[in-house]
């Protein structure tokens, strides 16, 4: 989570809401990092989770192709863990389910847009084809503090 918080801090430097994410492979090695880039790139889908998922899928796809050129490369993030500073929104929750992430760890709850148990619970909806494990509240005070600082500064402007 501390690596995700560092990504969140980097997002803030571009005027983006400070949300950061990292993805770990089954051995616990970081294979992708992401931060909000909506303002920096003018992309409404530039959420930290989406950025990290795209990067991790590309990494695994490339690695699989290099390891065994005859095997079909994969985009599936099976056995990988997403660590993110804020509860995923519905868009990100959909991407998490579709990418087959095994586990999601998040810091702060998002009662206005969260889709991992607060407003919606897309990640644990048994009607979907995949339901990752969800671990909420990791370093929650630090994750909330980063967001609170950002929005307090924005309100002062």
The residues that are catalytic are 49
Determine whether the annotation assigns residue 143 to a binding site. no
Is 153 annotated to bind ligand?
no
Count of CB atoms within 10 A of residue 96's CB? 26
Indicate if the alpha-carbon torsion angle 141, 145, 146, 148 is positive or negative.
positive
Query: Helical H runs in 38-116?
Result: 38-41, 48-67, 90-99
Structure-token match 């390891």, residue found: 67
Q: Are strands 20-24 and 81-86 parallel, antiparallel or unpaired?
A: antiparallel
Q: Please tell me whether 89 is known to bind a ligand.
A: yes
Q: Which residues are annotated as a binding site?
A: 47, 89, 92
């Amino acid at each position: 989570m501390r690596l995700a918080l560092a990504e969140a801090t980097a997002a803030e430097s571009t005027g983006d809401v400070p949300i950061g994410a990292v993805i770990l492979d089954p051995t616990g090695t970081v294979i992708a990092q992401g931060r909000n880039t909506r303002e920096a790139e003018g992309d409404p889908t530039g959420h930290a989770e989406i950025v990290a998922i795209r990067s991790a899928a590309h990494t695994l796809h490339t690695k699989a192709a290099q390891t065994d050129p005859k095997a079909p490369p994969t985009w599936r993030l099976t056995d990988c863990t997403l660590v993110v500073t804020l509860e995923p929104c519905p868009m990100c929750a959909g991407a998490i389910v579709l990418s087959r992430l095994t586990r999601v760890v998040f810091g702060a709850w998002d009662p206005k847009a969260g889709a991992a148990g607060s407003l919606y619970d897309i990640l644990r909806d048994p009607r979907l084809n995949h339901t990752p494990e969800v671990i909420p509240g990791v370093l929650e005070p630090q994750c909330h503090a980063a967001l609170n600082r950002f929005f307090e500064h924005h309100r002062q402007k």
